Structure 1
């Protein structure tokens, strides 16, 4: 008696079942791969965001009032500040830096960027770096010192002065900082008000005491970021910084 084999219909059914099983298995593997890629991109975006905001906080923590210019200023486009050199401690620092933060438009869209100067030791170099930071933030080019941080749709800055959050360009809560120096104030021999700040040489004429009062440093700085579409974490982010030397109860 001859053995009976599979019919053509049975073979076609078996092949169809195997194809369905293979397709389901491939979709499961593809889903796992996509999930891993999404998690990796999310972690990378979060790391970039943490690095950028960490640098922002570090710059504010290292803020130095030189007495020559305002320690921090925001003109609506670029935020500039003077800070201690991160490569040295406040006790043995031989220079300071000017740092600028701005939202710059480029081929890839709007970006949040940071620029910093070389270490500075003279009034003349400080003035040049302050101007260079402003020019760069308003669209100028910089040879070096620029870091592209994040895609950014918009950003806002508020200063805490006089017990409330205000526009940095507003005179509210900033009357003392805007006041002219007192008449008859003797010229200064030193270039830096803060004892912890680095010395500055006498290449330029000395400034007068009181030209940039201590109140020029706000009690707090509020940063509001509207994150761009290139980040897994979208939406609005708010970061509040409080001056470390702020007295309790203020």
Structure 2
């Protein structure tokens, strides 16, 4: 009888196994890079959405403050010095001093307690010039803000101008003064002397009819480049 031919043993050779392992490792690495890129993209998109939502919330608060501005004739209703925007806004329980301040690339909002007393209102207005950023009532609104600028719109000139320049002058009538007491033997109200001089008029900047906010963001900020927002002021 002829011997049967030798048969190859079943299974893979070592080289085949190594080649298969190399291919699997390469595919796993490619798959991991794809998953990692998707995860990073998702995190970046989520962070950007969070910044945009934060920006929308801050702008909504800023617009609410501006639209509630009131001129009390005691302190300026609105004032901007390049770094701080101060305003007095209506509240259900009085008038409140609000200050928006840009300090070291961070935008803060400070509020004084609402009050109906003139001395308290003046005190809150003076405190807005001494803010350090750690006072009670201070909130951090935005970070990575490179610069900001405000412009006011005046109906009389039908144009925008820098908020730091002088605006329209509002004529505020003086407080009424009681006439002096009558002298003995004099007739008529008071001492009978009527002044021919016109009444004294107090000049101050009238509230604008619109306000434009321009914010420039640093890299990594809530937006790219600069953002512009305009608000119309309705005077009661």
TM-score range, shorter chain: 0.7 to 0.9
The Cα RMSD (Å) is 2.5
More strand by share: 2
CA 232–168 in structure 1, closer or farther in 2 if over 3 Å, else same: closer
CA 8–165 in structure 1, closer or farther in 2 if over 3 Å, else same: same
C-alpha distance in structure 1 between counterparts of 2:222 and 2:99, whole Å? 26
Higher normalized contact order (CA 8 Å, seq sep 6+, divided by chain length): 1
Give, in angstroms, the shift of residue 229 of structure 1. Answer: 2.5
Give, in angstroms, the shift of residue 54 of structure 1. Answer: 0.5
CA 150–41 in structure 1, closer or farther in 2 if over 3 Å, else same: same
Choose from 18, 29, 36 the match for 1:12.
18
Give, in angstroms, the shift of residue 32 of structure 1. Answer: 1.5
CA 81–212 in structure 1, closer or farther in 2 if over 3 Å, else same: farther
Q: Give the 4+ runs in structure 1 shifted more than 3 A.
A: 208-213
Give, in angstroms, the shift of residue 94 of structure 1. Answer: 2.4
With the length of structure 1 as denominator, give the TM-score of the two structures. Answer: 0.75
C-alpha distance in structure 2 between counterparts of 1:187 and 1:228, whole Å? 55
Where 2:128 maps in the other structure, the secondary structure is helix
Please say if 1:219 is aligned against 2:209. yes
Give, in angstroms, the shift of residue 27 of structure 1. Answer: 1.1
Aligned residue for 1:103? Answer: 102
| Unmatched 5+ stretches in structure 2 | 1-6, 179-198
Would you say the 8 A contact 2:108–2:139 is kept in 1? yes
Aligned residue for 1:56? Answer: 62
Aligned residue for 1:25? Answer: 31
Alignment of 1:63-212 (within 5 A): 63-85=69-91, 93-105=92-104, 110-136=105-131, 140-151=132-143, 152-161=145-154, 162-171=157-166, 173-174=167-168, 176-177=169-170, 186=176, 211=202
Would you say the 8 A contact 1:227–1:236 is kept in 2? yes
Asked which structure has the greater CA Rg, the reply is 2
CA 187–94 in structure 1, closer or farther in 2 if over 3 Å, else same: farther
